[in-house]
Each structure stands twice: as C-alpha cells, then as structure tokens.
Chains A and B, each alone.
Chain A
Amino acid sequence: MKPLKFEITQPQDGTWVGEALRGQWLSHRHYRLRLGPDGLLGHYLVSVTGRPVCLYLPQALDLREQLELEPLFRGVARRKAWSTKRLKSVGNLSTHRNRNGTWSTLPRAQRLEMLRHAKEGTFGWRGRFPCAYNLESPDEYARIANYTHRISDLLMDNWPEAYERQMLVCSRRYNHLIGRTPWSQAVVNAEFYMSSHMDDGNVRGSLNAEIVYGDAQGGRLIIPRLSLGIQVRPGDVLFFDGSELHAVEAFTGRRMSVVWYLRPPNAAR
C-alpha cells in the first residue's frame, strides 16, 4: 500500500514558539491531529512545508513475531531510568549540587510517580563502541538485529528516498551499524514518560524508527510543531525525524517502546 501524503504548512510569521515547549510535559492540549485508532488510520507520510517528517505505518509488522521478541527487548531495558543522565533531557528533572558544592552529573529523582518504574537500555553501536548488551548477549542481539532488518525493509518499501539517503550516510561506517540497516543504535524505554525533547545526538536529518509494546492508555508520541499526536500500537511502525521536538504523553498501563536511531561515527562512548 502506498502511503497517503499530507502536507502541513508551517506558519511563516514566527508564531511557532516550540523552543519554549522544550523540556515541558505535553498533553492533548498540544496536538489537534490524531494519527491512530481514534483519529486518522492509514499509511501516512507527513511533511511540513515540503520536508517529509514522519511516516506512520499501522499494523505493518507481524504481531506474533513482534510479541515473540518482547522478552528480549525487556531484557535490554534493565537500568532504572530515574538515576540516569538521560533523564535530564527527557525527564524534565534538574541537577543538584553534591555535598562538596559541585554539580552532580545525575539528576535528582523527584517524586514523579510516572517515572518510578521507568527503565531503559541500549543495544547496537555508540560511535565505534559496541553497547554492553551486544557483548553480553550475542545470540539475543543477533535475533534483534535480524528483526531490525524487517523494520528497515519497511522503510525501503514505503519511503525509498529517505532509506537511500540514510543508507548513503551509513555506508561510510558500515561496520558500526545494526546489521545492514540505516541505524547504529537503539534504545528500549519501558514505562518511560518523556518530556518534550529533540534527539540532538543523532545524525542531522536522519530518521528514527519506533515500535511499541503494551496496552497503555494514552502514551501518544506528540510532535507539537505539527500539532500531531500519534498513537503507535503493537504492530505499528513509526519513522520520524528525531530532530523535531517530540514527547510522550502521559499513560496508564504498560508501555515499552523501542527506538532505532543513527548516531554519528564519532559519538562519545
């Protein structure tokens, strides 16, 4: 099926105040257009003033196969997120001073109930260095890498220009990718409610891929600049430009997302 294309025209008069939203928790007030079961349901390629930004493919994956891999992805997400640096950028938590007066590199966990059970973990390559998961669980990693090819094939079939563009960027460092896919690394976020952020560490203009597990109510991916709320369910795939400001809406129930992305080859370990 060919995706339907729709164009969003960005206001040119400077009315967009996206930067002010950075680091904020977003909700249904920040989007009007819904993609997913309770909105527009279909294959959509969304572009903003001529630049494609995201591709939504509902029920494009074999659900049974995806569910078979759920334990593997749960195995990747093994670090408690509330004690990580990442929470600073996506958890809206501020840093605090240590006893000796220096700034701590870790954010202070606030009493934010939604993040109490949040976990995360990565696999793939961070720059030239493999993630710990690849080395500790090579068989599981091989299965996940194999599955990543399915996601990559979907991008190739539905958005060939973007796929080829990203593969061209990857071709200079093909030893440090997840198989022959256009992504170098992936993160698994379990029960992780995220404030609005941009994926600043990614290769500019590269696309992320996202799949989701769980039966959560809410948990839309919000792209406020496009006024877009996308409900990604198990079986769906979303490709989007991570350099757009985005956030995950609050949710109840279980939700685990896997996001593949492309880091530059000289990314810090």
Chain B
Amino acid sequence: MKTMVMLIGAGAVGKSTISRLLVGEGATEYAVELNTVLKGEPARCRVRYAAGPTVALAGSLKNGSDSISAMDALRQVIDLCLQQRDVVITDGVRCTCTLVDWLANHPSRPAVVFAHIAPPLTINMQRLSARRAARGVTEEQLPDKTYWNVFHFRARARAVWRYAQAHYRRPQVQFVEIVHGTAEQAATQIVDALRGEGKE
C-alpha cells in the first residue's frame, strides 16, 4: 500500500526537520531533470529527492519540498517517489488546496496522512529569529515584511488543513495536528498515524 505524508505548516515550524527524521539517517539524495511548465512556459527543471530504506522525500534533505520551485515538477517527483518507495513525504510551505485535490484524484489511490504542524505563534517567531541568526543575520527584531508574512503563512497553512479535512473524501486518510512538542515527538506521532493508516 502506497502512503503519502503531507506536512502542512507555516515557515520555520520544523517541517523539514520532521521530514529528515522520518526519512532516516541513511537516506540518499538524487537529482533528476524533468520536463515541466514554469510560469506557463515549458522548461527543463533539475530537482532533488531523497530516499531512505522505506521512505522517500519529494525534495532535498536540506530544504525539503521547498527546493522544488515548480508545482508541476513537485507532482512529477511525488509520482517518481511513489514508484520507488511505499511512503512518500511532501513538506512544502507552498502546499495548496490544489495539491490536496490532486492527491484526492491520484490514480494510485494512496493512503494519506495530513499532518498540520501548528506551534504557538511565539515559538514560530522564535524559531524564525533563530534560523535567521544562524544564517548570520544580526537584527534587533524581525524585519516588517518577514514579521507580518508569518501571519499569512500560518493562515494559509490553516486554510489548507481545513480544506483537506473538509474535502478529502477517500477512506484511507489520517489527520494529525501537532501543536506542542519536539520534532522527534512529532515524527513519532506521524509514525503512529502511519501504522494506523486507513483506520479513519
């Protein structure tokens, strides 16, 4: 049985960290060139995916699915990963309702685990500041645009999460909301959901 794990969350909530934990330490990263459509134009796109013993990640180990800029390419990579492994993770910050619909109509009918990573706002902000500090950015507070965008990304993630709950109708689906805890605890919760896939 093929299974998709769709991590939904704003930026800097730990999606890529959780993905890395799920893929496992021995994962290998591959690069492929795909014919895709970028901004309405046909384009050749070089994308990465990572594959562990049983789990594959549609995207690079460092940035996850965010490393794939074209949504069409992301879908192709997911298909490729589904052919190679039983469990595939997508963790893009740009996850959309369209992607949820695409999964709902996917011909291979995979079981799906939707995981909404929604830590409290203060923790989200702290993680974002820490990430920027680690990148060498010295600032007293987050720049205006970055600060206010956090609210948009959180609202968008929430909207996709609600959309998935309301519109995903296939029987083999699990919804996991992770509000507190470390990345390890979150990964454990998702693994538990994977084990109980199809219950709901």
A residues lining the B interface (CB < 8 Å):
156, 160, 163-164, 167-168, 170-171, 174-175, 180
Contacts and interface: CB of A to CB of B under 8 A. Distances in A.
B144 interface: yes
6 contacts: A156-B121, A171-B148, A171-B149, A171-B152, A175-B144, A180-B147
B55 to A, nearest CB: 33
A85 to B, nearest CB: 33
A160 B147 contact: no
Contacts of A174: 144, 148
Interface residues of B, number: 11
A183 to B, nearest CB: 15
Contacts of A175: 144
A168 B151 contact: yes
A160 B148 contact: no
A2 to B, nearest CB: 13
Interface in B128-157: 144, 147-149, 151-152, 154-155
Interface of B: 120-122, 144, 147-149, 151-152, 154-155
Contacts of B154: 164, 168
A156 B122 contact: yes
B151 A171 contact: yes
A160 B121 contact: yes
B121 A164 contact: yes
A205 to B, nearest CB: 15
A160 B120 CA distance: 8
A171 B151 CA distance: 7
Contacts of B152: 168, 171
Contact of A167 (B120, B144, B151): B151
Contacts of B148: 167, 170-171, 174
Contacts of B144: 174-175
A173 to B, nearest CB: 10
